[in-house]
Structure 1
Amino acid sequence: MGKAKEISITYQNNRVVYAPGDVVHGAVSLELKKPKKVKKIKVNAVGESIVKLKMTDGKQLRNAEKYFHYTFDVYTGGDSELNSGKHTFPFQVSLKPALPTSFEGSLGYVRYSIQANLEYAGVFGGRTKAVSAFTVLDAVDLNTAPTARTPLQVHCEKQASGMLWWRKNAVTVDLTTEKSGYVPGEFVYMNGLIVNGRTKPITNLRIELWQQSIFHGRVKNSSPQSEVLKHDVSSAVASWTLGHDPISAESAANWERKQLFQIPPVVPSGLRHCRIINIQYYFKVTVIIPGSIASSLIDAKTNYITIGTVPLMSPEQQQQDRMHQEPQPVIASAPIMEMPPELAAELNAPPPYDPGNSGFGNVMLPSYQEAVTGGVSLTAVDNEDAISVVSTDTQPEGQFVPQYAFFDFSQAQTGGGVVQPSAPPIGL
């Protein structure tokens, strides 16, 4: 009798992306059908990374890192009774200044969640739980990455050999990227030469961006001093194919700034501040050799590239932006703070964007888009080591998908290459 009709967690202005050092403003909402005595509402705010995987030999690897765990009450009722209707209990949590970016992988994750536990008074009062997750986005400034401006070279070839190819010449691929540092939203351009010495056209050429997730763990129930093992999982996150423009027989294709795919919303390289999960990216070029068996192909993997959150700029742009850069606000370090009396008037306000060390501020601003790699179903749990979480009002059907900075270079102006900002320069 009088059980909660709904308990939910919401964020101020529906904001679900934060930078390390930000303060998370939120509220626990409770709706009662009838008046009811509520003993207390407790909130757990947790930042953690967990690795869980099973090796081919049957061994189970486990690992975990805890970045913070705050527990506090947003309501203590005692013997008092809450009226029917909706009740809102605000809270605030201050994030640490050094945190890894949120990531959801098949064998592990970096996750930031808030779980609300409602306990009714009385012997048969019972409990109700709700849990929500939000994205933390750590800045990776490509202007400070040593190799971000260095082009990558791809060379691979297939020489004539075997009974089927004795009259046929080689297929060679020599391609070069313009750089090795990108942000989501940028287009990849390549220069180079593809020579088809065969007597049939090349119709199957594919260039892909692959994400490599590296998980580190120890064998389950082993000692803390046992060997740390790693397991890699790789998958393509973007691709380009030759399509309806084949490379004719006994000819060559000369590429000059050939536009391929746009970098999708993905987690930045490295996953800085996380020691048990690492993220890397590379380009992969695959060519099916014409006039041969299907398994005969050129398959080349480049060196690793860097995916960041702050685009590369020319020295002139950096100097100009530094001259206009506003001082950064000081973020309070207290773990828990009280909610201000009124919420901000703007709805759906975007989070502040961290420009890193580049002085980048006036050229363009990103939007925030859901990761192309997807997310997870969220469930409120008691076990700290379980894969936990559920939906918010902005995450339908119990799904949580991290959101990353996305610069829409497709809207770049031809006059100066400036992208119109998709969000006001809040917090710069």
Structure 2
Amino acid sequence: MSSLREFSIRVDNSTAVYSPGDTITGEVFVDLNEAQTCRGISLRFKGKAKVKWVENRHSSNNRRTYLAEENYFGTEVYVVGASHGEIQLVGGQHIFPFTFTLPLNIPNSFTHEYGDVVYSIKAVMDIAWALDPETCLTLTVYSPFDLNQAPSHAIEDELHEEYCWCVLPCVSEGFMEAQIYIPKSSCAVGDQLDVFIEIDMNSPSVDIFGIELRLKQILEFHADGRTKTQSETVERSTNNGPFERNTRINLRLQVPSVLHSGLQHCNLINIMYHLGIKFLVSDCHCDTKKYYAIMIGAKSTVPTEEQARPIPPASAPSDLEIMGIPSIPLVPIPGMIGDSTAISETLNPPPYASAPPIGFQIPNPSAPVDPTVATMPPPSYESVMAEEVKK
């Protein structure tokens, strides 16, 4: 359409990253060369998940497509005009503000070859008997997985591996025993995963020349009763040997910036993580591998029991105060340790206002300011004391 110079969606958040329950505030911007007749301009808010993949069955000519979708919300509202009738927008610039509150139980944004979770805002100019101009803005929703939902526990395991002679498999070359201890089964992005291994090698001819840690991400896509699985190693750490026959080793692996476990509130896509331990052995013997499930999420911001402990009462007067020598008062700095007011407000915040309703809202104009109230002077000290005497 030649009369349309610009048609865009702008949001106040420059990164367009939101959390569940956040309110999106923005505007639809229209710049016209000349007057344009249309039914109106609509906004479509949508959040959905979709998975799709194709499999060959028995032959390349027999292919089946697996497809599934899951909708989280879908709302369409006209910011100007309606679905019937016509209006005329004069030439020049037009701004139509809007707000939209995201639901609480929605999954994190996700993109992959076989599936995605997408949130978007689309503006459409509805023109009768013509191609409707439209513009779209993709939003990113960050929905962290709270590790309090998956209490961590220690992982303890024992390995026993027999080794045989490569030429005569019936001839034993001894065995290896290993005690594995992982202090925690859940961690946050950026944390260190510690692995403690105690090795007892009872083989004179087999050596362990390396131990490798691997953090593997496993993705599951569900559609039509079938599951498509994809996995990749997102982080690894290797400790090169050779090691002594009887030794204790401490291995570490840092958790990289990855999506959190589970992709909660989504029934079509699942994210899992496995920590793999691989013993690299000499000669023709097979390496020993073992995997353990690990949960990755976000650290909770809720104060612990130790942090929420009430502030102790003031201490007894010092010896100087008893002798009549006043002590120098310490003036607390707001926000620092020792400021009881700041601590109390942090541990006991004021009640929050009621959450806004989910969906589209038209912003209300600000209430006018009453000049008599705005210019009214504060009460004097004498008037306040007089009121106290009356009481």
Q: TM-score, normalised by structure 1?
A: 0.64
Paired residue type of 2:235: A
Is the 8 Å Cα contact of residues 173 and 206 (structure 2) preserved in structure 1?
no
Kindly indicate whether residue 289 of structure 2 is the aligned counterpart of residue 299 of structure 1: yes
CA offsets, 1:220-252, max 9 Å, x none? Answer: xxxxxxxx222222222222223xxx2225545
Determine if the alignment matches structure 1 residue 135 to structure 2 residue 127. no
**Residue 199 of structure 1 contacts residue 249 of structure 1 at CA under 8 Å; is this kept in 2?**
no
Q: How does 1:35-54 map to 2 (within 5 A)?
A: 35-37=34-36, 39=38, 40-54=40-54
Contact kept in structure 1, 2:31 and 2:91, CA below 8 Å: no
The change in CA–CA distance for 1:19 and 1:198 in structure 2 (over 3 A counts) is farther
* Partner residue, 1:324: 347
Q: Structure 1 residues 275, 79: closer, same or farther in 2, change over 3 A? A: closer
Deviations 1:92-145 (A, max 9, x none): 1111222222222331122211122234x575x543322222222334322242
Task: Indicate the SS of the match to 1:275.
Answer: coil
The alpha-carbon distance between structure 1 residues 16 and 156, as it changes in their structure 2 partners (threshold 3 A), is farther
Report the Cα distance in structure 2 between the residues aligned to 1:3 and 1:199, rounded to whole angstroms: 83
Aligned residue among 196, 200, 213 for 1:207: 213
Distance 1:102 1:183 in 2: 18
Q: Contact conserved, 2:3 with 2:36, CA < 8 A, in 1?
A: no
- Alpha-carbon shift at residue 150 of structure 1 (Å): 0.4
- Aligned position for 1:107: 114
| Pairwise CA distance, 1:20 | 2.0
Does structure 2 retain, via aligned residues, the 8 Å contact 1:171–1:289?
A: no
Separation (CA, whole Å) in 1 of partners of 2:53 and 2:165: 42
Q: Aligned partners of 1:329, 1:106: CA distance in 2, in Å? A: 42
Distance 1:175 1:115 in 2: 53
Q: Measure, in 1, the Cα distance between the counterparts of 2:55 and 2:278.
A: 29
TM-superposed deviation, 1:14: 1.3
1:61-76 matches, cutoff 5 A: 61-76=66-81
User: 1:338 aligned to 347, 354, 362, which one?
Assistant: 362
**Does the Cα contact within 8 Å between 2:209 and 2:243 map onto a contact in 1?**
no
Give the deviation of 1:71 after TM superposition: 0.5
Cα distance change on mapping 1:81 and 1:311 into 2, 3 Å: closer
Deviates more, 1:161-170 or 1:329-338: 161-170
Deviation at 1:4, TM superposition (A): 3.4
Shift of 1:332: 0.8
Measured after TM superposition, the shift of residue 190 of structure 1 is 1.7
Partner of 1:310: 299
- Which stretches of structure 1, 4 residues or longer, exceed 6 Å deviation after superposition? 320-323
**Partners of 2:186 and 2:294 within 8 A in 1:** yes
Contact 2:22 2:101 in 1 (8 A): yes
- 1:337 alignment partner AA: Q
Per-residue CA deviations over 1:195-214 (Å, capped at 9, x if unaligned) read 56575764553212222222
The 3 A distance-change label for structure 1 pair 190 and 4 is: farther
Residue 183 of structure 1 and its aligned partner are, at CA, apart by 1.7
Does 2:228 correspond to 1:231? yes
1:107 maps to a residue whose letter is Y
Q: Which has the higher strand share?
A: 2
1:212 and 1:90 mapped to 2: Cα distance?
42
Aligned-partner SS, 1:336:
strand
What CA deviation, in whole Å up to 9, does each residue of 1:11-48 have, x standing for no partner?
Answer: 2131423222221222233344x224152322111111
Assess if the C-alpha contact under 8 Å between 1:157 and 1:298 holds in 2: no
The letter of the residue matching 2:55 is M
2:272 matched to which residue of 1? Answer: 280
Deviation of 1:308 after TM superposition, in Å, equals: 2.0
CA distance in 1, matches of 2:124, 2:358: 23
Q: State the 1:307 CA deviation.
A: 1.9
Deviation at 1:331, TM superposition (A): 1.7
In the alignment, the residues of structure 1 paired with residue 256 and residue 348 of structure 2 have an alpha-carbon distance, to the nearest angstrom, of 27
Other-structure match for 2:103: 96
Q: Does 1:2 align with 2:5?
A: no
CA contact (8 A) 1:2 1:36 kept: no
Change in Cα spacing, 1:105 to 1:163, as seen in structure 2 (3 Å) is: same
Partners of 1:259 and 1:311 in 2: CA distance: 23
Q: Deviations over 1:276-331 (max 9, x none)?
A: 222222112223322226xx2222111x2222223498642465899715244432
> Gapped runs of 5+ residues in structure 1?
219-227, 343-428
Query: Using the alignment, how far apart are the partners of 2:358 and 2:155 within structure 1?
Result: 45
What one-letter code is carried by the residue in structure 1 that aligns with 2:23?
V
**What is the aligned counterpart of 2:248 among 226, 244, 254?**
254
Q: AA paired with 1:259?
A: R
**After superposition, where does 1:351-366 map in structure 2 within 5 Å?**
none
RMSD over equivalenced CA pairs, Å = 3.3
SS in 2 for 1:59: strand
How many Å separate the matches in 1 of 2:79 and 2:295? Answer: 42
Q: What CA distance in whole angstroms lies between the structure 1 residues aligned with 2:145 and 2:12? A: 26
Q: Greater RCO between the two (CA within 8 Å, min separation 6)?
A: 1
What letter is aligned with 2:229?
Answer: D
The equivalent residue for 2:281 is: 289
SS at match of 1:143: helix
